[in-house]
Amino acid sequence: MRSVAIIGLGWFGLPLARDLRNLGWEVKGSKRTHEGVEEMRLWRLETYQLELTPEINADPDELHALLAVDSLVINLPPSDYFFDAHNYIQGIENLVNEALLYGVQHLIFISSSSVFPQADGIFNEQSPADENSTLYEIEQMLFQFDDIDVDILRFGGLIGNDRHPVYQMSGKSYPQGNSPVNLVHLEDCSRAVQLLLETPSGHRLYHLVAPQHPSRASYYSAVAKKLRIAPPNFDCSSQDPQRIIDGKKICDELDFVYQYPDPYLMINHP
């Protein structure tokens, strides 16, 4: 049986774990706290406590059980674990070095399209990223590992059936209403990870962003109306940045098909 460990069973990691288990994978995962571990075990997921400080804080036997897998998915957003970039980068590097000692053969790191500046342009995988970005620095570090397959997935703004940013935006005011959205549905992200796990092949970098990009003002106003909440208010200008993240490469190379190509399809009706 193919085996995978997901480091960070959060809002994305938990449904990913359940999807992979339903597909026949042996799935393990980690949480930072004892309470988090117990919560995951209620889902009948094999879960172990692990914290990066940036040292690896885990029971040695549990660490062995966690990392005795074929593949590793690292899903740890910087803000969740670390107070500074150095510790975050060092923690990820420590974890990968430890995984190599256990014979992990394939690594997937969940990154973000935030590696690109808020500027005009269409950004694909060949576009230069912000070299000061912590995530970009981690990406470059991970691609230095020659003896393991490494995939980097840069997610756009993540949307799920029970989670949409418009709820936090309701009634508030925002600039750049004419700028396009760069969103992706959680289910598409899970399917992309599944595809990469099934086809390890050297070092790869892919964007996960729905191919349609309505303006922020039109999109969030329409979503708020359908969800029957107060819409956010946007200042719109012809000078608003036209920043589009191109997510076609994974389609062209691996025949991936977005199930939610249109952000309007991501709305969970009340």
Question: Does residue 181 register a pLDDT over 80?
Answer: yes
Q: Tell me the DSSP string of 156-179.
A: -EEEBTTB-THHHHTT-EES-TTS
Q: What's the average model confidence in pLDDT over 13-26? A: 96
Q: How far apart are CA 111 and CA 92, in angstroms?
A: 12
pLDDT band at 77, cuts 50/70/90? Answer: confident
pLDDT band at 82, cuts 50/70/90? Answer: low
**Dihedral sign, Cα of residue 36, residue 84, residue 186, residue 29:** negative
Cβ(17)–Cβ(46) under 8 Å? Answer: no
- pLDDT digits 0-9 by tens, 129-167: 998 999 999 999 999 999 899 999 999 999 997 789 999
Residue 200 lies in a domain: yes
Q: DSSP secondary-structure letter at 232?
A: P
Residue 235 lies in a domain: no
Question: Does residue 125 register a pLDDT over 60?
Answer: yes
Mean pLDDT of the chain: 94
- How wide is the angle at C-alpha 123 spanned by C-alphas 120 and 125, nearest 5°? 165
Residue 133: CA count within 13 A, CB half-sphere: 19
In total, the chain counts a number of residues equal to: 270
CATH of the domain at 22: 3.40.50.720
Q: How far apart are CA 72 and CA 142, in angstroms?
A: 13
Output the pLDDT for position 18.
Answer: 96
Q: What's the average model confidence in pLDDT over 176-185? A: 97
Q: What's the average model confidence in pLDDT over 28-37? A: 96
Structure-block tokens of residue 69? 């897998």
Residue 169 lies in a domain: no
Q: Residue 20 belongs to what domain range?
A: 3-160+185-211+244-263
- pLDDT digits 0-9 by tens, 200-238: 999 999 999 999 999 999 999 999 999 999 999 999 999
Residue 165 lies in a domain: no
Output the pLDDT for position 269.
Answer: 55
Question: Does residue 270 register a pLDDT over 70?
Answer: no
User: Cis omega (within 30 of 0) on the bond before 54?
Assistant: yes
Other Cβ atoms less than 10 A from the Cβ of 138: the count is 24
Other Cβ atoms less than 10 A from the Cβ of 55: the count is 11
Q: Give pTM, 2 decimals.
A: 0.95
Question: Does residue 250 register a pLDDT over 70?
Answer: yes
Structure-block tokens of residue 25? 């994978």
Question: Percent of the chain having pLDDT more than 70?
Answer: 97
Q: How many domains does the chain have?
A: 1
Q: What's the average model confidence in pLDDT over 181-198? A: 98
Residue 32 lies in a domain: yes
Output the pLDDT for position 78.
Answer: 81
Residue 112 lies in a domain: yes
Residue 223 lies in a domain: no
Output the pLDDT for position 256.
Answer: 98
Residue 232 lies in a domain: no
